[in-house]
Amino acid sequence: MGLAWQQGPLSTRSVGRFLTPEPLPERLLFVEPLRRRMRVRFGGEWLVDSEDVLLLHEPGHYPVAFFPKAAVADGVLESSGRVTKHRELGDTTWYTVAAGEGRAERAAWEYTGLPEYADVLKDRVAFAWRAMEAFYEEDDRIVGHAADLYHRNDIRSTSRHLVVRDGDRVIADTHNPVVLYESGFAPRWYVPREDIVDGALTPVEGQTFCPYKGIASYYDIGSHAGAAWSYEQAWTEVERVSGLVSFEPDKIEVYLDDVRQSLEPGQTVIPHGVDRGLDTDEIEKRTA
């Protein structure tokens, strides 16, 4: 979860609410400085390199980085002749991005009809994330979307009793689970492999990508498809869950201290695709 997407406080699907005497507008946009050096690469060239980056948080969207137009390399932005209208920010002018051997249509945009209250975005341009080769903070590639300063993961050890069952069959039984608290989401419980019955998990093809945890692999349990998953090489920030297994409470019976778990608000995750040119090997290098 971030400030304005998934179940964040400014999203349209928030699990919380503001305590105010009057209802807030249905949609609130928020802009803040990133305070980090950010670079964009395309066509084998650097398009922009700036420490003056603004993040736009818009309900239902990942944060978007806006760079000063004056900081973009000469000749990179070509007018596409396309203008659309944003519901709050007015006319939106789209650009073709050209650099080196690369060319991408409608891969950058600028708000050219801004209302006065949003003029902080004047003369700034954003680049479509998946259309570019890569985005960097300093020399580290940033994947998924621009850094969301409001997203975090906290991992805690616990001695609570967690049991996973498939009818009469015990799949896992542990007094040593790990719980991962991810901003805005319901807790996720992870079980050590040694506390899972041998042969209970059947690996399946297909993986998903989380910009905060890495590549997830999935398992069937009997007839229950995709009932468990594991970040076999979780990124450094969440390495405590590497190799541990979590179970979907709506697909298999999960009991925590004898209380059956259910799919809670905040557990439905919007899938996130892998960035352009980013393969599994490169993602897993982050754990090296």
Closest CA to 190 of 198, 201, 182, 180: 180
Instruction: Give per-residue pLDDT as tens, 256-288.
Output: 999 999 987 656 555 555 555 555 555 555 444
Q: How far is CA 92 from the centre of its chain?
A: 25
- Regarding whether 246 and 268 lie in a shared domain, the answer is yes
| Domain end residue (candidates: 88, 111, 142) | 142
Residue 32 contacts residue 146 (beta carbons within 8 Å):
no
Tokens, residue 110: 């600028």
Instruction: Give per-residue pLDDT as tens, 99-131.
Output: 999 999 999 999 999 999 999 999 999 999 999
How confident is the model at residue 288, as a pLDDT?
46
Confidence of residue 166 (pLDDT cuts 50, 70, 90): very high
| Domain end residue (candidates: 101, 120, 142) | 142
Has residue 22 been placed in a domain? no
CA 10, 238, 254 angle in degrees (round to 5)? 80
How confident is the model at residue 123, as a pLDDT?
98
* Rounded CA separation 76/93 (Å): 15
Helix or strand (DSSP H, E) at 280: helix 280-285
CATH number at residue 157: 2.170.150.40
Has residue 2 been placed in a domain? no
Number of domains in the chain: 2
Instruction: Give per-residue pLDDT as tens, 185-228.
Output: 889 999 999 999 999 999 999 888 888 898 999 999 999 999 99
Positive or negative, the CA dihedral 221, 274, 126, 69 is positive
Mean local confidence (pLDDT), 6-10: 83
Positive or negative, the CA dihedral 191, 194, 199, 203 is positive
Q: Which domain, by its residues, includes 240? A: 153-285
Instruction: Give per-residue pLDDT as tens, 60-103.
Output: 888 999 999 999 999 999 999 999 999 999 999 999 999 999 99
* Rounded CA separation 229/213 (Å): 12
| Domain end residue (candidates: 107, 122, 142) | 142
How confident is the model at residue 15, as a pLDDT?
79
- Regarding whether 157 and 276 lie in a shared domain, the answer is yes
Has residue 16 been placed in a domain? no
- Regarding whether 108 and 71 lie in a shared domain, the answer is yes
Q: How far is CA 216 from CA 243, 253, 263, in A?
A: 10, 21, 19
Confidence of residue 7 (pLDDT cuts 50, 70, 90): confident
Residue 61 contacts residue 5 (beta carbons within 8 Å):
yes
pLDDT of 235 higher than 70: yes
